[in-house]
Amino acid sequence: MTANGQALDGLVAASDPLSTRTAFKNLNVLTRPIVSYAPKTLWELDTAKLPMSLARLRRRARDFADKVLVPAALELDVTPQPPLGQWNPRLREVVSQAGRRGFMTDMVVPPPMGTAIVRGDRFPVWAIAVKTEEFSRACGGLMLTLMVPALGQCPLLFSGDVNALRRFLLPAFREIKAGEPHPFSFAITEPTAGSDVEEGHGASVYDPGVVAKRANGGWLLRGRKRFIGGGDLSKTIAVFAALEGEGMESWTCFVVQPGMAGFKPVRKELKMGMRASGTAELEFSDVFVPDTHIVGGLRQGWALNRATLNFSRIPVAGMGVGFARAALEAALEFACSTRLAGKPLVNYQEVQLMLAQMVAETSAIRSMVWQQARTLAPRQGAASMTKLYCTDRSLEVCNMAMDLMGNHSLLHANRAEKAFRDARLPIIFEGTNQINRLAVIEDMQEEVLAKCLP
């Protein structure tokens, strides 16, 4: 990386005696190694800070994103969703390639069943957050298609239910690694309940929208689930339902699969962004689910749901980092390729200021994600604060990019507006950021209450 003696307006060239690059090289031989450094890209600098296995993952994920996701992103963003249950062929190919390269079986299960690298420095949440950043930076809709299955796998993994793993996860992993898509979904949201199913206070008074009624050898599920990522294509859906006559505390996780009588995806949503990924409403009309499809036991659903959200909200924050980076990169490209009065925009101070702010914001939220992801068991408060802060700031970076690009930011081909539309969703899903703020306080209640005591 060299600038060949050139400098942006208002700044000294790296070869100038006043540049730190040059000045540091002239220091004493003992101090030089401490302060001097070679130029590197921001991405290289950040990657170097990761544990080795995660750095390797980040490189692989970026390579995959650049070669497979970026070329498909704009097309899939504007192509109407195919009818329910049908794949867009290009999307299917992306999913197939991701599966073959081990990106959809690498959460925690090591080879030969899965593709996870199990090492002391490879925290699963961190690994997923690294992937969500790289994939989101390429395309929100494709990222969601590739990452939602991990969400659907979580209840199965957290259940510790060997039967569920053997019965549902391992055969699916075999398909995925062979290039045959096997999407998983996580079905908690109901038509009249978004936030109620994501926080305890609301759930305590909510009438469950999907109810399981006892039948011979199993349960009959009735009701609807809404806004289910990849729901119409999913081959394994973790459906949460309350037991008949009981409240949300009876929530149980059932595995529903296409072809079960009474199960039907009924519609797909028309979304603002993340449009490569289908979002479906699912109908359950007395769907018979055998006892063997219960995950983790009766009345364990609420705990599995909350554990899943604690696990997934930090990677959702990672999505925010990816969208911020997408916006930043789009703005930087524009600032270098667009000229005003004979020179690229990046030479103007107001443009440099905006870019620097975007770099700082993106770096700050990435630091938060990586700091909070360094754990095996994310706490509710940590997961929620990371999710709400990073996704909010991410949208602000998208706004900055659009402001930098002016009315050119409205053009789809320039990608900044797509980053905005994609970045807007994580502020709503996995609990609105308002609900996540309350989750932070809820999780520190003991500390708060102790201060309230006389």
User: Which residues make up the interface to another protein (CB under 8 A)?
Assistant: 77-78, 189, 192-196, 201-202, 204-206, 226-227, 269-273, 338-342, 345, 348, 350, 354, 395, 399, 402-413, 417, 420-421, 424-425, 427-429, 432-434, 437-438
In the complex with another protein, the residue whose CB is nearer, 188 or 317, is 188
For the CB of residue 295, give the shortest distance to another protein in the complex, in Å: 24
For the CB of residue 451, give the shortest distance to another protein in the complex, in Å: 21
For the CB of residue 427, give the shortest distance to another protein in the complex, in Å: 7
In the complex with another protein, the residue whose CB is nearer, 169 or 327, is 327
What CA–CA distance (Å, rounded) separates 280 from 136?
Answer: 21
For the CB of residue 150, give the shortest distance to another protein in the complex, in Å: 20
Phi, psi of 272 (to 5 degrees): -70, -45
Determine contact, residues 116/153, Cβ cutoff 8 Å. Answer: no
Is residue 265 classed as helix, strand or coil in its secondary structure? Answer: strand
Q: What value, to the nearest 5°, has the Cα angle with vertex 303 and ends 147 and 246? A: 120
Q: In the numeric block, which tokens belong to residue 118?
A: 């199990």
State the Cα torsion 359-363-365-369 to the nearest 10°.
Answer: 150
Largest CA distance in the chain: 84
Q: What is the DSSP letter of 194?
A: S
In the complex with another protein, the residue whose CB is nearer, 183 or 426, is 426
For the CB of residue 411, give the shortest distance to another protein in the complex, in Å: 5
For the CB of residue 264, give the shortest distance to another protein in the complex, in Å: 20
For the CB of residue 225, give the shortest distance to another protein in the complex, in Å: 12
Query: How many beta carbons lie within 10 A of that of residue 380, not counting itself?
Result: 19
Q: What is the DSSP string of 285-296?
A: EEEEEEGGGEES
- Nearest alpha carbon to residue 421 among 435, 407, 401: 401
In the complex with another protein, the residue whose CB is nearer, 226 or 366, is 226
In the complex with another protein, the residue whose CB is nearer, 187 or 405, is 405
- Helix (H) or strand (E) holding 241, with range, is strand 236-243
In the complex with another protein, the residue whose CB is nearer, 50 or 416, is 416
Is residue 189 classed as helix, strand or coil in its secondary structure? Answer: coil
- Nearest alpha carbon to residue 218 among 310, 155, 270, 293: 293
In the complex with another protein, the residue whose CB is nearer, 47 or 308, is 308
